[in-house]
Structure 1
Amino acid sequence: MKVYLATPMNGKSIEEIKEKIADFASLLANKGIDFFNPFLETVAKDNAADGIVKDKRPIEMLCNSARYIEDCDGVIVIGSREEFKQSKGCQIEAMIAALYDKDCYLYDGNEFKRFKSIELKFGVEK
């Protein structure tokens, strides 16, 4: 099994992101689970002000990362439910996984929670 790590990054320090991913990667390694980590420190530094990540081109960044979901069995969002609600990128990564019948989980630091459902709604003008 291989999973894609979706991590809320915008507004967080590079060190905070790296620490969160490292802790989670250790947990996955202990369980024998392979993963893809889309976080690139060099890119984050190019998109940071005073060490805080603020994507200048969020759609481009997302597209460059999300393409790797193709090679994974699922997506794990590393963060709380509230962080997930605030992260457009993580929401899109979870939606991609769901639409392509891949597993999707939230890991809040304590336990894995499988997404029961993900809805995509459009309101179209008449």
Structure 2
Amino acid sequence: MNRTEVRDALFPNCPIRNILSRIGDKWSLLVLFTLETNSTQRFKELQRNIPDISQKMLTATLKMLEADGLVRREAFPEIPPRVEYSLADKGKSFLPHIDSLIAWAMDNMGDIMESRKQYLLK
């Protein structure tokens, strides 16, 4: 059991801690944002659009987001097999909050970086 699973098991009724532990990792918001901007995508497309993510991390992140009902995975019975990922309705309802967070980060990043610099100079 990893840290997130332990934390979720210890505090299952705390919505803030539970949800933030799932989406507050390095990749989840980027995957959701990428699916927002590019709609339905195959695995390799997602991997190309998030160049720093490893195949293993993308797989794990997609599984977690699918388990939480934020991402929808659709497998097509073709040869070769085709799998597409898109935002589920719950993921779409989360988009305005992601967009607000991105806007806030863009508006404040310069000030935050300057504050960090000043803090280190103390």
For this structure pair, what is the TM-score category when the shorter chain's length is used for normalisation?
Answer: 0.3 to 0.5
- Greater relative CO (CA pairs within 8 A, separation 6+): 1
Higher helix share: 2
Larger radius of gyration: 2
TM-score by length of 1: 0.32
